Amino acid sequence: MNKTSDADKYAEYRDLILETHDVDIDNFKQVEEGRAFGKPITNYNIEQLLIGMEVEMEHTKNPLFALTISMDHLEEFSDYYDRLLKMEDEAKAELNIKESSILNSELTEGDLKKQTKAVIDAIIPLRDNLYQHYAGQGFSDQQIKRKVPYAFLRGAIYTLTGWNKNILGYWEA
């Protein structure tokens, strides 16, 4: 490429980044440790850069730093963000299929009994550990009986599902 076309390409990149991310790259300084350090921004596909900036803004509020990260990733794979988005779409589709099959599955009474027994078998050690924990802190039996049902339920839900949300809205911290 000659100097005029390099300048034209840079101007096009500058305009697109300014338009989409409201930042001027004229004073862009790369992080010196990055893989793309010292390489012109025009070495990379502009669509990949724009997608990359959008993705990396999940991790920073600085669009120029997002640009640096994008360039570093594009140094690894020129279609890094296409691959990333494809992987995310596949993972979401897989998760939706799993959720759908769980919600739409027909459970027999025997299956339900087996699952209930598995839940109870998982919960009993939690209950026993909570009693021991509070007793070790000097709580009376009456205090433990008030505390354990909520902590017990929270622990059981977290252990069985990995979901640590305040479902009932009044659990202790």
Q: What is the mean pLDDT of residues 106-115?
A: 70
Express each pLDDT in 29-57 by its tens digit.
776 778 888 899 999 999 999 999 999 99
DSSP 20-55: HHS--GGG----TTSTTTTS-GGGS-HHHHHHHHHH
In tens, the pLDDT along 115-159 reads: 767 766 776 676 677 777 778 888 787 777 666 665 555 555 555
Degrees to nearest 5, angle at CA 35 with 34 and 41: 90
pLDDT of residue 116: 67
Q: What share of the chain is helix, strand, coil (3-state, %, to 5)?
A: 70, 0, 30
62-71, pLDDT tens digit by residue?
A: 999 999 999 9
Check residue 73 and give its pLDDT: 93
Residue with more model confidence, 5 or 131: 5
Asked if 21 contacts 53 with a C-beta cutoff of 8 angstroms, the reply is: yes
